[in-house]
Amino acid sequence: MRAALSHPPGDGSPPAPLELSGMVLDPPRLRACAVVEHPEIRAVAVDGEPVAAFAAFLDGVQQSHVVDYAGTIPIVAGRTAAVIRSRVERRMTTWNDGAVSQARLYAPLQRLDPELVKALTAADLPLRDTLAPAEELSDHPMELLRRAVDAVKRDRERLEADLAERWAAGPEGPLFVDGGLPPGPRASTSPMCVGVVKSHHTIYAPPDGLARVLALAEGERSSAFLVERTWGPRVASWYLRLREPPSHDPFLGLVRVEVAADGVDAGRRADEVSRWILAERAPLALPDARWDRMVYGIRDCEEYLRARGG
């Protein structure tokens, strides 16, 4: 990369991941939702014994850093990977052909000198354009960095969605997906795919229901509601408290679940899937700092990808 830019070699120090810079954080916001189980959002105790029904777990990772600058334009290296780890006789194993991964350079190609683009292409460095054709965007380097990180994120989500589509085409059993329900035509409508969201930058609740959502006790869920998505079919969703907060942190142990919405009794489905998720609270996903919301199967995916250099 530096040879193509005619820049001197670096000092060998490891680059700082952009994911730790705060650029990938979504802005916090509240969104209204249509409650479909009760007249208003309320706390519902999940009855019955937890059931370990998930056959596998899907997660992906990403890492990006600035390689160099072409003038004031950052050129970012991004690596993404995803894997499905299936549970066979209480042991985790990699499903099918293993993990999928890719590595690319990310830059606004329209803003780069055409000769530089040719030099990068000649060096066999795969390039991803971070701007749409003729798109208007500020030349602020931080804005260009954010656009690159967003492009890396989309590539990771694409790898995860492709794996979920392949899983949903078969009869293997329920799949626990880290994050929202994948947008593919099979995965987004399959009863075999369950999305579990650990972050709460966006909270779905009517104005008078926020306090009830954040006050859920361990083993309680919220009423089911619908989430409309521009990138795929709407989903049925609800909040679930995995563990009792030992402090006043309203997010400790709180997750939001997504399942296919059409053709299901939302309340009955929420009880069933909540029992599946509550069964995954042990073993603890320690020493990960997100242990209160992360199940062990997802931690296993991340450890597997990390060991492969993903």
pLDDT of residue 7: 73
pLDDT at 76: 94
Token pair for residue 186? Answer: 């099979």
Which residue in 199, 160, 154, 230 sits closest to 292, CA to CA?
Answer: 199
Work out the pLDDT band at 23, boundaries 50, 70, 90.
Answer: low
Higher pLDDT, residue 232 or 12: 232
* Cβ neighbourhood burial of 282 (10 Å; 0-12, 13-18, 19+): exposed
In a 3-state reduction of DSSP, which class is residue 281?
A: helix
What pLDDT, in 10s, does the model give residues 215-228?
A: 999 999 999 999 98
The count of C-alpha atoms lying within 13 angstroms of the C-alpha of 135, restricted to the half-sphere facing its C-beta, is 14
Alpha-helix runs per DSSP H in 101-199? 114-122, 141-168
Sign, CA dihedral 260-264-266-268, equals: negative
Q: Which token pair is 110?
A: 């329209």
Contact 144, 137 (CB under 8 A): yes
Q: How far apart are CA 196 and CA 301, in angstroms?
A: 15
Average pLDDT over residues 123-135: 83
- 192 CA to centre of own chain: 18
- Write out the two tokens for 49: 């014994």
Give the model's confidence band at 25: pLDDT under 50 very low, under 70 low, under 90 confident, else very high: low
Give 97's pLDDT tier (boundaries 50, 70, 90).
confident
124: left (phi over 0), alpha (psi -120 to 50) or beta: left
Q: What is the pLDDT of residues 260-279, one digit of tens each?
A: 998 889 999 999 999 999 99
Other CB atoms closer than 10 Å to residue 24's CB: what's the count?
A: 16
Distances (CA, A) of 43 to 37, 199, 216, 217: 11, 20, 6, 8
Q: Tell me the pTM.
A: 0.90
Task: Check: CB of residue 22 under 8 Å from CB of residue 29.
Answer: no
Which region among 17-31, 150-164, 231-245 has the lowest average model confidence (pLDDT)? 17-31
Q: Tens of pLDDT along 232-255?
A: 889 999 999 999 877 778 999 999
Distances in Å between the Cα of 108 and the Cα atoms of 117, 127, 136, 279 are 10, 10, 11, 46
CA dist., res. 76 & res. 145, Å (int): 8
Burial of residue 23, with CB atoms counted within 10 A of its CB: 0-12 exposed, 13-18 middle, 19 or more buried: middle
Residue 89 has a pLDDT of 85
Rg value, the chain, Cα: 21
Q: What is the model's pLDDT at position 90?
A: 82
Q: Span 43-70, mean pLDDT?
A: 95
Domain segments of the chain as ranges: 2-307
What average pLDDT does the chain have?
90
CA distance 151 to 120: 19
**Predicted local distance difference test score (pLDDT) of residue 32:** 85
**Model pLDDT, residue 223:** 96
User: What percent of the chain has a predicted confidence (pLDDT) above 70?
Assistant: 94
Residue 230 has pLDDT above 90, yes or no: no
Tell me the CA distances in angstroms from 16 to 51, 66, 101, 112, 126, one per residue in order.
42, 8, 21, 23, 21
